[in-house]
């Protein structure tokens, strides 16, 4: 019997669709069902590499973890990674297809929709419940005939829909009613109820609005989810990063400055540092840099464009000056490439520029090539100085997602010894003579608890800081359980199960 379906759509981007799907996946798993997530088309710069080497959106990886599943590209068949010049790299079933403008992309959606249908069909044969996440809003009336992730998908799959609105932004009732008004009568029939997200305050004061909403639309509010903090689950939306910057912590035993690149990617690489008590600051311009204990150059989807941006706003010179003062610096993926002498793109694969001058802090040279490296890896630390002192033979797990190959005249800090395809023997990254400037292609470095704690201890000792007593970061499993507990207590789950059983007629 094919899986039952439930689709979560939103009145806009960043209203909390991803986190609610994650919570529902965990709740259904706790209730004994084989459940899986699905998102037809995702636009995100935070991505992940599966065991098979396929690339998919980070949100669906988190949702798969909440289900207790190995991530699969079938859960996110189409991934769009925005690039410079109003283009996106289009990834189909985990592999790069081509780079397209928005107009040309929509010419391909009939074909892409057939791929989506095939992937969802496979998912439905394997699970009891599939929870589908929409994209943006279903009421983008200029795109409705060509979109493949909202109402067209709900109609194709005959999936009931719950519509989520964000009350923290203000105007949630107008957003919910306005979304319905812009849908056709048939589309409105697919929506079985509302969820109001990010509520702060007295629920009793909200009830008159809930009653008016139901009276006006004929659809009930199935839950009001409180605004929460302290549940640390990776999110991929750039709006989330902006909100995080506004609410950055004021304390912390180590001050870590992360350059907020225009095309920043995989910034969840650094979430574990914050959970260890570090103060993470996302820096937009040179005046914000200050005198941090560590500077991180993160990944980028448009490395040359972002490198030129650093020079243009004066951050490149500030980072170089901090390096001269002995500040520790790490570059990951695109950030690693920026630390070198230059980045060259002779085939114009990533940029309209032929290349760009790097920061010159590592003796490396990167040349972009048409092929893209996407693989999970196991590696060992092989350098023993500076930031990696005393860490030799520490094992780490991570993954690579990058265009281009880097030639290095520096010591390699890591030895990759295994991928899902078998044993390998190759080097990764670069470490300068001081040991304080480190570059690597390995995403997920700080998700390795042993490496993370040893690294922070070394940095604290170097800075003369007495770190907090070692504490066990709450496991991801417990984080998912806490999220499920909060959302379960806020939803009418009996009604949601009736909707699941009744489908679009429920």
CA atoms within 13 A on the CB side of 468: 14
Closest to 134 measured CA to CA, from 117, 156, 152: 152
Which of 263, 309, 443, 447 is labelled catalytic? 443
For residue 54, what are its two tokens?
């396929």
**3-state secondary structure (DSSP) of residue 460:** helix
For residue 58, what are its two tokens?
């980070």
For 140-201, the DSSP string reads -TTTTTT-SSSHHHHHHHT--EEEEEEGGGS-HHHHHHHHHHTS-HHHHHHEEEEEEEEE-S
d(CA 389, CA 383): 7
Query: In the chain, what's the furthest Cα-to-Cα distance?
Result: 70
Burial class (CB in 10 A: 0-12, 13-18, 19+), 468: exposed
25 counts as catalytic: no
CA atoms within 13 A on the CB side of 351: 22
For the chain, helix, strand, coil in percent to 5 are: 35, 30, 35
| Structural contact between residues 197 and 164, judged by C-beta atoms closer than 8 angstroms | yes
For residue 287, what are its two tokens?
């005046």
For residue 491, what are its two tokens?
């939803």
From first CA to last CA, the distance across the chain in angstroms is 18
| Structural contact between residues 183 and 189, judged by C-beta atoms closer than 8 angstroms | no
| Structural contact between residues 42 and 76, judged by C-beta atoms closer than 8 angstroms | yes
d(CA 433, CA 435): 5
For 309, residues 6+ apart whose C-beta sits below 8 A from its C-beta are 261, 262
For 97, residues 6+ apart whose C-beta sits below 8 A from its C-beta are 90, 91
Which of 119, 333, 415, 447 is labelled catalytic? 333
Q: Which conformational region is residue 165 in: left (phi greater than 0), alpha (psi within -120 to 50 degrees), or beta? A: beta
333 counts as catalytic: yes
Burial class (CB in 10 A: 0-12, 13-18, 19+), 397: middle
Closest to 23 measured CA to CA, from 491, 420, 404: 491
Catalytic residues: 333, 443
């Amino acid at each position: 019997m094919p899986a039952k379906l439930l689709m979560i759509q939103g009145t806009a981007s960043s209203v909390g669709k991803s986190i609610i799907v994650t919570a529902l996946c965990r709740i259904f798993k706790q209730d004994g069902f084989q459940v899986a997530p699905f998102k037809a088309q995702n636009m995100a710069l935070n991505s992940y590499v599966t065991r098979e080497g396929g690339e998919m959106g980070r949100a669906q990886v988190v949702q798969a973890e909440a289900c207790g599943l190995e991530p699969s590209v079938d859960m996110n068949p189409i991934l769009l990674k925005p690039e410079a010049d109003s283009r996106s790299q289009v990834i189909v079933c985990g592999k790069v297809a081509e780079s397209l403008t928005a107009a040309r992309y929509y010419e391909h959606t009939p074909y892409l929709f057939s791929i989506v249908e095939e992937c969802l069909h496979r998912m439905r044969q394997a699970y009891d419940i599939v929870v589908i996440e929409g994209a943006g809003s279903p009421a983008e009336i200029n795109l409705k005939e060509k979109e493949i992730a909202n109402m067209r998908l709900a109609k194709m799959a005959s999936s009931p829909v719950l519509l989520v609105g964000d009350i923290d932004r203000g105007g949630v009732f107008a957003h919910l009613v306005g979304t319905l008004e812009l849908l056709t009568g048939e589309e409105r029939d697919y929506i079985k109820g509302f969820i109001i997200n990010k509520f702060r305050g007295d629920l009793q004061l909200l009830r008159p609005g809930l009653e008016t909403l139901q009276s006006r639309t004929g659809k009930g509010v199935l839950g009001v989810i409180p605004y929460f903090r302290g549940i640390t689950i990776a999110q991929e939306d750039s709006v989330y990063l902006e909100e995080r910057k506004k609410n950055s912590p004021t304390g912390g035993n180590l001050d870590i400055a992360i350059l907020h690149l225009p095309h920043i990617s995989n910034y969840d690489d650094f979430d574990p540092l914050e959970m260890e008590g570090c103060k993470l600051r996302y820096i937009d311009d040179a005046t914000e840099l200050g005198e941090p204990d560590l500077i991180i150059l993160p990944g980028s989807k448009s490395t040359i464009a972002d490198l030129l941006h650093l020079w243009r706003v004066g951050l490149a010179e500030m980072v170089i000056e901090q390096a001269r003062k002995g500040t520790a610096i790490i570059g990951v993926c695109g950030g690693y490439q920026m630390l070198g002498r230059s980045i060259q793109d002779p085939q114009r694969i990533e940029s309209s520029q032929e290349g760009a001058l790097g920061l010159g802090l590592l003796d490396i040279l990167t040349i972009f090539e048409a092929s893209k490296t996407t693989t999970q890896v196991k590696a060992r630390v092989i350098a023993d100085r500076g930031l990696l002192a005393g860490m030799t033979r520490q094992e780490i797990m991570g993954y690579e997602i990058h265009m281009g190959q880097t030639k290095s005249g520096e010591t390699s800090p890591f030895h990759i010894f295994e991928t899902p395809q078998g044993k390998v023997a190759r080097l990764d990254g670069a470490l300068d003579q001081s040991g304080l400037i480190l570059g690597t292609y390995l995403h997920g470095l700080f998700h390795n608890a042993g490496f993370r704690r040893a690294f922070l201890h070394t940095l604290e000792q170097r800075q003369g800081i007495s770190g907090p007593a070692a504490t066990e970061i709450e496991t991801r499993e417990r984080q998912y359980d806490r999220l499920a507990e909060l959302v379960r207590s806020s939803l009418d789950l009996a009604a949601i199960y009736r909707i699941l059983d009744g489908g679009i007629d429920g």
